[in-house]
Amino acid sequence: MSDVTTYSVTTRTRASVVAGLIALALAVVAVVLPAFASRALIQDLFFILTMLSLAQYWNLLAGYGGLVSVGQQAFVGFGAYMLFGPVILWGLNPVPALLLSGVFALLLALPTAFFAFRLHGAYFAIGTWVVAEVVRLSVAMWKDVGGGTGTSLPREARSEMWGVPQIEAMFDVRTSAAQDILAYWIALAVAVATIGGIYAFLRTKRGLSLAALRDNAEAARSVGVDAARIKWTVFLIAAFGTGIVGGLIFLQNGRISPDSAFSVIDWTAFVIFIVVIGGIGTIEGPILGVLVFFFLQTFLADFGSWYLLTLGALGIAIMLFAPRGLWGLISEKTGLHLFPIQRRLVIGPGRDR
Amino acid sequence: MAQTASQIAGSGSAPEPAPDSAPRILSLTGVCKSFGALKVTDEVSFELPQGQALGIIGPNGAGKSTLFNLITGNIAADAGRIEFLDTDVTRTPPMSRCLMGIGRSFQIPQPFDKLTVFENLLVAATHGRKLSEREVGSDCAAILDRTGLMRVANSPAGSLSLLQRKRLELARALATDPKLLLLDEIAGGLTDAECVELVDTIRAIHRGGTTIVWIEHVLHALTSVVERILVLDFGRVVAVGPPDEVMASKEVREIYLGIEV
Ligand SMILES: Nc1ncnc2c1ncn2[C@@H]1O[C@H](COP(=O)(O)OP(=O)(O)O)[C@@H](O)[C@H]1O
Ligand SMILES: [Mg+2]
């Protein structure tokens, strides 16, 4: 057609190729890790991976979608209960039941969004929290899963999970250690799928329109961006993912109660801390943030309420002095982007992205 | 068709020759808008034949930009009716009006600051035309070429100068492939050479069949493109007709006394 110049579009940078290769190598190491690692390390990594996934979903909502929810514990808790219910009542295998966690969290997200999307800014945040409280109180009346005091998964349900006997045989470990390894592997798969999925989404035209809406909502609407649809999309994705992670966390825990499953501190405050300290609105930020959070928790956990105060003070300090978080500081200094989404127009024939 | 635009406006300008026989693309009937006690759009009615270029002039604060916002849906009309391609769009949200074919520039540029110039166009082209990135890539590149933005294609829009931002407004509106293009003061502050270039670009767009409404204070640029001029003052249409007749009328000369004619 046009014989003047040809163009191609790329998002790839040298840094992103290197980062991709390193990520691949890390993933391989992570998969085979249970062969050498101690059980304590596997448990720590499980914690890190699940918090990382929760943080990525909250970041997608707030950092990319501008939807500052403080009610994500609704999806963690509801997802977890929708795993416990079918496993306890119908004897469903817990591994496939994780899918139910996601699906039910998605179903809960429909009325939640319908209600909360009528609210804006701080009212949206409060609205999501109210929904979480309502769900917590409702679940506390569900006698079959322990009502207000909670319940445990049957021992056999966990020891007979898909994969547990095989892992016992493969690594020659006891059942409880095999359960940890299985949970770790699932958490790893979920974290990789979460990061990969969010990155892929951000590179679509809908992902691009998220950035446009964030920069200038009025102009975005005037060029045909469907703001309502994209908000729904982001909210539902986040709910589904958060529900699965919630199911997984409590599957590994083995015990559930309304207070722990719907804890605003554990599943929202800590998650916000991770995202803010690492760098909101980037994929790299929550990865860095969860590591900082883990080390702070490990070293400060003995100090009780001082631990929470330190986290709070640190979070506020970062918000004031480095609003783009630790990763923001790093990428500002180095220009580094490990997950680039910027499309560059390159003159001359080139490979398509 | 019942009335021509000039009859509705009742300004005494002569009716136009050819273009009125073309089917109308846009029609406003008794459109009103107030901000508090301030009536910014007062019973505005006019029709726009398909393919025409219409200029809008009037003093600052006359309600020109507000009229655009009413046509695009960024502001809701208090009363009256707006039709685009014979569909009532008075209550249609801006996103849908864009998809129907209304493209606009903002007087105060509203770029997506953190996106690159090229990405600004990509958003508009993929969403405004419901196409994939792959399908619109070369069109966006061609628009960048045409609007002189190719050099800054990969720069964040937030880093552009004011003049470049105004070009981006035009480029982004073009990327939605509009049937009706609304341009709000994009020639202010240009050098003579740049102005000639801009006029050439807009002429070419117009020749391509796009209907244009252009708000502009740089009258010589405007009159070298448009076939008809509409004059707004205090939210009312005071004159509409061919440029030379409108500019010669007594009312308009009074409003524009002391302003470049
Ligand atoms: N969103 C708004 N809220 C209140 N007043 C407004 C708003 N937009 C415009 N106005 C007022 O309406 C009048 C017309 O503005 P505008 O349409 O921008 O005029 P023009 O483009 O002809 O200079 C001005 O007095 C302006 O202050
Ligand atoms: Mg104006």
Alpha carbons B61 and B58: distance in angstroms, whole number? 8
User: How does residue A265 score in pLDDT terms, banded at 50, 70 and 90?
Assistant: very high
Structural domain contains residue B152: no
User: Which is more confidently placed, A352 or B31?
Assistant: B31
For chain B, give the mean pLDDT.
88
Alpha carbons A294 and A279: distance in angstroms, whole number? 16
Size of interface A-B (CB pairs under 8 A): 109
User: How does residue B259 score in pLDDT terms, banded at 50, 70 and 90?
Assistant: low
Chain B residues whose beta carbon lies within 8 Å of the beta carbon of residue A342: 116, 119, 154
User: How does residue A307 score in pLDDT terms, banded at 50, 70 and 90?
Assistant: confident
For chain A, give the mean pLDDT.
92
Q: Among A266-275, A338-347, B224-233, where is mean pLDDT lowest?
A: A338-347
Inform me whether the C-beta atom of residue A3 falls under 8 Å from chain B C-beta atoms: no
Best of B32, B39, B40, B78 for a ligand 1 pocket test (most atoms within 8 Å of beta carbon): B40
CA of B185 to the centre of ligand 2 (A): 7
Q: B124 and A223 in contact by Cβ < 8 A?
A: yes
Determine what percent of chain B is predicted with pLDDT higher than 70.
90
Of the candidates B217, B246, B213, B254, the one whose C-alpha atom is nearest the C-alpha of residue B67 is B213
Structural domain contains residue A2: no
Q: Is the CB of B13 under 6 A from ligand 1?
A: no
List the domain range (segments joined by +) for residue A267: 33-286
Ligand nearest to the CA of B61: 1
- Please report the pLDDT score of residue B4 as a whole number: 38
Q: B98 and A345 in contact by Cβ < 8 A?
A: no
Structural domain contains residue B106: no
- Please report the pLDDT score of residue B172 as a whole number: 97
Structural domain contains residue B200: no
User: Which is more confidently placed, A302 or B114?
Assistant: B114
Best of B33, B65, B66 for a ligand 1 pocket test (most atoms within 8 Å of beta carbon): B66
User: How does residue B17 score in pLDDT terms, banded at 50, 70 and 90?
Assistant: very low
| 3-state secondary structure at position B235 | coil
Q: Is the CB of B23 under 6 A from ligand 1?
A: no
What's the average model confidence in pLDDT over A53-62? 97
Q: Is the CB of B60 under 6 A from ligand 1?
A: yes
Structural domain contains residue B91: yes
Structural domain contains residue B50: yes
Ligand nearest to the CA of B37: 1
β-pairing verdict for A344-347 and B236-241: unpaired
Residue by residue, DSSP assigns A28-61 as HHHHHGGGTS-HHHHHHHHHHHHHHHHHHHHIII
- Please report the pLDDT score of residue B22 as a whole number: 75
- Please report the pLDDT score of residue B100 as a whole number: 96
**Å from A210 to nearest chain B CA?**
10
Residue B207 has pLDDT above 90, yes or no: yes
Structural domain contains residue B145: no
Neighbours of A22 (CB within 10 A): 11
What's the average model confidence in pLDDT over B86-92? 95
Give, using CA atoms, the residue closest to atom 5 of ligand 1.
Answer: B35
List the domain range (segments joined by +) for residue B22: 1-101+210-261
Domains of chain B: total = 1
User: Which is more confidently placed, A15 or A226?
Assistant: A226
Exposed, middle or buried: residue A283 (CB in 10 Å: 0-12, 13-18, 19+)? buried
Structural domain contains residue B109: no
Write the residue in A9, A223, A344 that is nearest to B172 by C-beta: A223
User: How does residue A2 score in pLDDT terms, banded at 50, 70 and 90?
Assistant: very low
Q: Can you list the positions of beta strands (E) in B86-138?
A: 87-88, 102-104
User: Which is more confidently placed, A199 or B14?
Assistant: A199
Determine what percent of chain A is predicted with pLDDT higher than 70.
97
Q: Is the CB of B97 under 6 A from ligand 1?
A: no
Query: Residue B257: which CATH number?
Result: 3.40.50.300
Structural domain contains residue A174: yes
- Please report the pLDDT score of residue B18 as a whole number: 44
Ligand nearest to the CA of B107: 2
**Å from B50 to nearest chain A CA?**
21
Query: Residue A222: which CATH number?
Result: 1.10.3470
Structural domain contains residue A341: no
Alpha carbons B213 and B71: distance in angstroms, whole number? 11
Q: Among A238-242, A287-291, A313-317, B179-183, where is mean pLDDT lowest?
A: A313-317
User: How does residue B254 score in pLDDT terms, banded at 50, 70 and 90?
Assistant: confident
Helix (H), strand (E) at residue A344: strand A344-347
Structural domain contains residue A223: yes
- Please report the pLDDT score of residue A349 as a whole number: 61
Residue B249 has pLDDT above 90, yes or no: no
Structural domain contains residue A155: yes
Determine what percent of chain A is predicted with pLDDT higher than 90.
71
Which residues make up the environment of ion ligand 2, defined by Cβ < 5 Å? B 64-65, 107
Structural domain contains residue A77: yes
CA of B215 to the centre of ligand 2 (A): 8
**Å from A203 to nearest chain B CA?**
10
pLDDT tens, residue by residue, A171-229: 888 989 999 999 999 999 999 999 999 999 999 999 999 999 999 999 999 999 999 99
Domains of chain A: total = 1
Residue A304 has pLDDT above 80, yes or no: no
- Please report the pLDDT score of residue B131 as a whole number: 95
Helix ranges, chain A (H): 14-32, 39-58, 73-90, 94-116, 122-139, 155-159, 164-171, 175-202, 205-215, 217-222, 227-253, 258-261, 264, 270-278, 284-300, 305-321, 325-334
- Please report the pLDDT score of residue A302 as a whole number: 80
pTM above 0.90, yes or no: no
Structural domain contains residue B174: no
Which residues of B lie inside 8 Å of A (Cβ-Cβ)?
72, 74, 93-95, 98-99, 103-104, 106, 110-116, 118-120, 122-124, 126-130, 132-134, 137-138, 140-142, 144, 153-154, 172-173, 175-176
* Predicted ipTM > 0.95: no
